[in-house]
């Protein structure tokens, strides 16, 4: 066989593998879709929506942390900004339909994300995390002090309204399927981004930044874009959350929330697509179940212990460990 | 005036707090040459390298690429102009396949690197060129292997292929044979020779036998400044060079010894 034959042979193998990978993705997406479509018939829709909103938040965070290598410790700011903006607009301007309120909240979070990114992107590692944390604290104090947020009480009674002026979202099932559509669209978008030409550059930057620079990439710009996309999706999660619960509260802006999304992502599997979804599901469930029982006051220490356990003994998270296991045992 | 020089530095100085690492260095790299930068540990070779590629900012002085002053430019911009560097520690993307490593370089010149909405399959059109480049360094059969699993010598070969994918006019190699066994060294020498066809190469190198085999011109650095410059015969005969390498100017003809050996 000549050298060119070998080359084209290998190329064919690679294409075949890509196809198989695509099929596998499609299958997983299908399973996820069926599960989520049927879920509200088994579980309480509002609880499921809570999970979906946090899952989207974690997916957004993971785009930055898992796929770009930037640990933001200020993502609560975007969740809260989305939530407050949407909550305020829908409460005060009855002419707005729900989706317009959500889009507005998302856009404001995107702009805030751009601001954060421009101020923090040149810092590396822990300094980057610290700058994002500091900025998020500023946003927190802004929300505490501003009259329109209701301060410590939060913003209550946000009307769910009607989607496109047509579909009544007061109905929990309608609301659920709306949240589901948005969540799936964002999930697929992130899936697409990660494997896109842009995603390959992000991967390169994460794995060896100086080398990416020496190959002619202006890495800061790529990072800023990743940050803005991540902040936008986090804002969208917050916007939807405020509609679902008809409430925007300071909890969402607290640094505790920035920590929680890190926990969700790490437990589920950082740098995997399903990981943050699974992580969010688990954490929300644990908080809820424990909150009901006698261990009510022990929620935080227990989550803390899980965090420590994850970091010490299974760093790739649940999905990451499963992937490793599959790879090892199935070729 | 400086047509024949691809790369030039004029009175290049780099000071770190209270310490002059590079002191008034004037380099002239002639087009088509393989030019070596040698010198004992701490002579400032890597610092010069980082200055040339903008990983460090010079305190004073000028850097000219094809007669154009590139002193204020940034690393990424210089890479796009055709001046691409390698690193001392093997610089690859460990959790990508060899083929994907090359594609990242090829992609750099495509307009699609910000296209986050495009499918990954759109990169497959780069596969053919990437395979050719892999083939040129003898890595065809490893195209689909994760880079982290490649042997050290192969990683360096991959790095070189990635660098070549940028179609650089001048190649800056930072110790391409560092930490390699004899067999790998020979292979890299061949690779560099092949890569240098139609290009200019500037390399930092410790291994003097590599330098003697490859290089047209040699600049010796010591304590941050240029000690001497010339071809291998001239430089190796210079008593000052022996002194900085061996501590004495005495011993006889020792053509191809490595600097490490010599330092012992």
Q: Could A13 and B144 be called an inter-chain contact, meaning their C-beta atoms sit closer than 8 Å?
A: yes
d(CA B8, nearest CA chain A) in Å: 19
Structural domain total, chain B: 2
Quick one: B219 and B264 in the same domain?
yes
Let me know if residue A264 belongs to a domain. no
Mutation pick from A214, A218, A232 vs chain B, by most beta carbons of B within 10 Å, is A214
Domain finish residue from B143, B167, B191 = B167
Let me know if residue A103 belongs to a domain. yes
Copy the structure tokens of residue A156. 């209550």
pLDDT for the residue numbered B251:
41
pLDDT for the residue numbered B189:
86
pLDDT for the residue numbered B244:
79
**More reliable by pLDDT, A136 or B258:** A136
> What residues of A are in contact with residue B100 (Cβ under 8 Å)?
200
As a whole number of angstroms, the distance between CA A186 and CA A59 comes to 9
Give the pLDDT mean for B83-107: 88
Q: How confident is the model at residue B174 (pLDDT cuts 50, 70, 90)?
A: confident
Q: What is the pLDDT of residues B47-74, one digit of tens each?
A: 898 898 888 999 999 999 988 899 989 8
Let me know if residue B191 belongs to a domain. no
Let me know if residue B194 belongs to a domain. no
Segments forming the whole domain that contains residue B108: 83-167
B100 to chain A: closest CA residue:
A200
pLDDT of B136 > 80? The answer is yes
Quick one: B96 and B71 in the same domain?
no
Mutation pick from A4, A209, A216 vs chain B, by most beta carbons of B within 10 Å, is A216
Q: How confident is the model at residue B247 (pLDDT cuts 50, 70, 90)?
A: low
> What residues of B are in contact with residue A16 (Cβ under 8 Å)?
none
Contacts of B222 (CB under 8 A, 6+ apart): B39, B40, B43, B244
Structural domain total, chain A: 1
Let me know if residue B252 belongs to a domain. yes
As a whole number of angstroms, the distance between CA B10 and CA B202 comes to 17
pLDDT of B260 > 60? The answer is no
pLDDT for the residue numbered B263:
44
Let me know if residue A228 belongs to a domain. yes
> What residues of A are in contact with residue B87 (Cβ under 8 Å)?
210-211, 214
Quick one: B18 and B149 in the same domain?
no
Taking chain A, what is the end-to-end CA distance rounded to the nearest angstrom?
Answer: 27
B101 to chain A: closest CA residue:
A204
Segments forming the whole domain that contains residue A226: 44-255
Give the pLDDT mean for B244-249: 62
pLDDT for the residue numbered B255:
42
Quick one: B73 and B113 in the same domain?
no
Quick one: B88 and B147 in the same domain?
yes
Q: Residue B205 sits in a domain of what CATH number?
A: 3.40.50.300
As a whole number of angstroms, the distance between CA B12 and CA B37 comes to 15
Let me know if residue A117 belongs to a domain. yes
Let me know if residue B251 belongs to a domain. yes
d(CA B173, nearest CA chain A) in Å: 12
Let me know if residue B193 belongs to a domain. no
Interface of A with B (CB under 8 A): 3, 6-7, 10-11, 13-15, 17-18, 192-193, 195-201, 203-204, 207-208, 210-219, 221-222, 225, 229
pLDDT of B264 > 70? The answer is no
Q: What is the pLDDT of residues B188-210, one digit of tens each?
A: 888 888 888 888 999 988 888 88
Taking chain A (331 residues) in consecutive chunks of 10 residues, what is each chunk's mean pLDDT?
A: 78 87 90 92 92 97 95 96 94 88 96 96 91 96 89 85 83 92 96 94 94 91 96 97 92 92 94 94 92 84 89 88 84 57
Quick one: B207 and B148 in the same domain?
no
Let me know if residue A240 belongs to a domain. yes
pLDDT of B249 > 80? The answer is no
Q: Could A216 and B103 be called an inter-chain contact, meaning their C-beta atoms sit closer than 8 Å?
A: no
Is B74 in CB contact (< 8 Å) with chain A?
yes
Let me know if residue B146 belongs to a domain. yes
Q: What is the pLDDT of residues A23-61, one digit of tens each?
A: 988 999 999 999 999 999 998 999 999 999 999 999 999
Let me know if residue A192 belongs to a domain. yes
If 0-12 CB within 10 Å is exposed, 13-18 middle and 19+ buried, where does residue A201 land?
buried
pLDDT of B179 > 80? The answer is no
Let me know if residue B192 belongs to a domain. no
As a whole number of angstroms, the distance between CA B144 and CA A12 comes to 11
């Amino acid at each position: 066989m000549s050298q060119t034959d070998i080359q084209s042979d290998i190329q064919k193998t690679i294409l075949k593998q890509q196809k198989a990978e695509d099929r596998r993705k499609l299958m997983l997406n299908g399973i996820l879709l069926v599960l989520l479509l049927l879920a509200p018939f088994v579980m309480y829709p509002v609880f499921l929506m809570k999970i979906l909103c946090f899952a989207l938040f974690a997916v957004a965070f993971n785009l930055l942390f898992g796929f770009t290598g930037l640990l933001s410790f200020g993502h609560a700011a975007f969740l809260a900004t989305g939530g407050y903006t949407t909550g305020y607009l829908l409460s005060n301007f009855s002419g707005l339909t729900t989706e317009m309120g959500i889009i507005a909240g998302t856009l404001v979070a995107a702009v805030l994300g751009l601001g954060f990114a421009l101020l923090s992107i040149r810092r590396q590692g822990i300094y980057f995390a610290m700058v994002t944390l500091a900025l998020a604290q500023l946003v927190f104090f802004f929300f505490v002090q501003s009259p329109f947020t209701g301060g410590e009480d939060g913003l209550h009674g946000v009307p769910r309204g009607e989607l496109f002026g047509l579909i009544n979202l007061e109905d929990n099932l309608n609301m659920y399927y709306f949240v589901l559509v948005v969540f799936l669209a964002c999930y697929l978008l992130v899936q697409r981004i990660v494997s896109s030409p842009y995603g390959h550059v992000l991967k390169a930057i994460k794995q060896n930044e100086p080398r990416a620079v020496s190959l002619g990439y202006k890495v800061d710009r790529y990072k800023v874009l990743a940050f803005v996309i991540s902040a936008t999706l986090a804002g969208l999660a917050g916007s939807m959350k405020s509609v679902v619960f008809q409430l925007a509260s300071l909890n969402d802006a607290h640094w505790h929330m920035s920590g929680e999304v890190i926990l969700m992502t790490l437990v589920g599997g950082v740098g995997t697509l399903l990981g943050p979804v699974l992580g969010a599901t688990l954490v929300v469930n644990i908080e809820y179940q424990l909150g009901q029982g006698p261990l009510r006051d022990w929620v935080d220490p227990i989550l803390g212990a899980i965090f420590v356990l994850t970091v010490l003994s299974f760093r790739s998270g649940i999905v990451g460990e499963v992937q490793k296991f599959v790879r090892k045992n199935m070729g | 005036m400086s047509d024949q020089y691809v790369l030039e530095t004029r009175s290049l100085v780099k000071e770190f707090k209270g310490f002059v690492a590079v002191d008034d260095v004037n380099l002239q790299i002639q087009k088509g040459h393989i030019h070596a930068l040698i010198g004992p540990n701490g002579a400032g070779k890597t610092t010069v390298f980082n200055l040339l590629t903008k990983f460090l900012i010079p305190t004073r002085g000028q850097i000219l690429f094809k007669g154009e002053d590139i002193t204020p430019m940034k690393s990424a911009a210089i890479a796009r102009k055709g001046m691409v560097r390698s690193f001392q520690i093997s610089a690859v993307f460990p959790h990508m396949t060899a083929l994907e490593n090359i594609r990242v370089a090829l992609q750099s010149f495509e307009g699609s690197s910000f296209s986050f909405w495009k499918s990954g399959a759109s990169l497959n059109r780069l596969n053919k060129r990437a395979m050719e480049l892999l083939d040129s360094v003898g890595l065809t059969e490893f195209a689909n292997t994760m880079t982290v699993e490649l042997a050290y010598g192969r990683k360096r070969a991959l790095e070189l292929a990635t660098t070549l994918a940028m179609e650089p006019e001048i190649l800056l190699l930072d110790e391409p044979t560092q930490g390699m066994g004899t067999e790998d060294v020979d292979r890299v020498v061949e690779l560099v020779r092949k890569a240098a066809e139609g290009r200019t190469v500037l390399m930092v190198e410790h291994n003097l036998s590599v330098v003697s085999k490859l290089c047209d011109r040699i600049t010796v650095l010591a304590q941050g400044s240029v000690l001497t410059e010339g071809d291998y015969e001239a430089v190796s005969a210079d008593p000052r060079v022996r002194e900085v390498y061996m501590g004495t100017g005495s011993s006889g003809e020792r053509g191809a010894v490595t600097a490490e050996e010599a330092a012992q």
